[in-house]
């Protein structure tokens, strides 16, 4: 199984063709259903680690944003820039990652 949508990765910065079926993400009648249809690349190690730290926080019944950023900081997980988490940096990171 593919980890990301290879067609999406090629399409993101391309100029779409005006011809039907050419350079489209999906060609009618030839749609390959992917688990990760919205991913243009495989997740980075940072992103995979981020998920694990979020799961750990959620398993400890963390449900509020302030508590979540505190939990990430207590776990020693830092932003991609190496900074401690704030509610603002967490929100910006979720926007950057597309969630």
* Calpha distance 54→85 (Å, rounded): 12
Q: pTM of the prediction?
A: 0.64
* Calpha distance 52→48 (Å, rounded): 7
User: What was the pLDDT predicted at 32?
Assistant: 66
Q: Is 72 exposed, middle or buried (0-12, 13-18, 19+ CB in 10 A)?
A: buried
Task: Enumerate the domain spans of the chain.
Answer: 1-41, 45-97
Nearest one of 48, 41, 50 to 78, comparing CA atoms: 50
User: What was the pLDDT predicted at 35?
Assistant: 61
- Dihedral of the CA atoms 76, 80, 86, 90 (nearest 10)? -120
Tens digit of each residue's pLDDT, the chain (99 residues) = 677 777 676 666 666 565 655 555 666 667 666 666 667 778 899 999 999 999 999 999 999 999 999 999 999 999 999 999 999 999 999 998 875
């Amino acid at each position: 199984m593919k980890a990301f949508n290879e067609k999406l990765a090629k399409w993101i910065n391309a100029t779409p063709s005006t011809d039907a079926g050419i350079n489209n993400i999906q060609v009618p009648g030839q749609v390959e259903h992917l688990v990760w249809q919205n991913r243009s690349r495989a997740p980075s190690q940072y992103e995979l680690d981020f998920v694990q730290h979020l799961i750990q926080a959620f398993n400890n019944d963390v449900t509020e944003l302030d508590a979540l950023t505190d939990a990430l900081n207590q776990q020693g997980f830092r932003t991609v820039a190496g900074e401690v988490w704030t509610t603002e940096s967490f929100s910006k990171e979720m926007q950057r990652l597309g969630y």
